[in-house]
Structure 1
Amino acid sequence: GWEGSAHDTRVFLHAIESPAFKFPKPPEGKYYLADKGYPDRKGYLVPYPKTRYHESQFENEPPKNERETFNRWHSSLRSCTERCFGVLKQRWKILRSTPQFSIETQIRIVVATFALHNYIRINSPEDPLFRVLEEYPNFIPSCELPDVRVTPQGQNCTESCTEMKIIRDKIAVALWKARNERRQLL
């Protein structure tokens, strides 16, 4: 079995390269936020390696450059995503384990729980699970991966990898510029 016995990168590559899984790839021109344990691939935006990343690393000193600014925002978005998944798993027990349903049924379960989640979020803003997240907006999940970059055998940094690095660099420069402009206004 895969669970607990394989590196995230191996599972990820198997999922996206196996047509049988119908892994949802991002639409052209869009990308998914991916953590540092994943390889550079078209459609998956990873943080800069060997650069400060976690919110706690910026407590006493703000970002010094474009790369650190990008990584700080990436980490913040990742934490937000982790918090949302935490609420979903707390609310829907079926999401806490691997159900023994067909992949099609599993997809329907995830879509249904997300739809219900969004409905509750819109119609019940005082929901206790959401209130916890609002009270602790800087919550960082305790499960942090080491800064490891894995490139599976046979995979080189191709055009798609370079394309994502260019996108990441453009975002980093824009964030750094916006940060500096905002500081000049203060």
Structure 2
Amino acid sequence: MLGIFLYILGTGAKVSQCRERFQRSGSTISQYFAIVLEKVSRMATDLIALKDPFFSSIPEQIRNDSRYMPHFKDCIGAIDGTHIAAILPPNEQIPYIGTNSTKNVMAVCDFNMCFTFVMAGWERSAHGTRIFLDAIRDPKYKFSHPPNG
């Protein structure tokens, strides 16, 4: 399972290529990928974290650049999203109809370009605000909130 997962991530291979290489059916390839992705996603809440969860200092990139300071002194990172192609089992396809079966991924980076939060799995049609609000409201995601003020 891990080999299939890493092969797809490392090469961008399609399921048809994996079927040939690993001698498994397309549904087995998709199931294995989904299982490992779910495990990695669970680990991510513990492994992907802020170095300074209290945001005690202004990032050097802002503090030392007059273009950004003082306008972005309270900025703690950047959020962006992307869509990742997915092959879904028939019982999960309804929310994805008309969206080319892609999953929405939201990622947060600090000023050193290190991921501080990643959330994957929403359907493509989900708006970024909806995904963000789910991430900050649900404690299971362990989204880092800045201190009051």
State the TM-score bracket (shorter-chain normalisation): under 0.3
Select the structure with the greater relative contact order (CA < 8 A; seq sep ≥ 6): 1
Higher helix share: 1
The structure where strand makes up a greater share of residues is: 2
Q: State the TM-score, normalized to the length of structure 1.
A: 0.22
Output the TM-score relative to the length of structure 2: 0.27
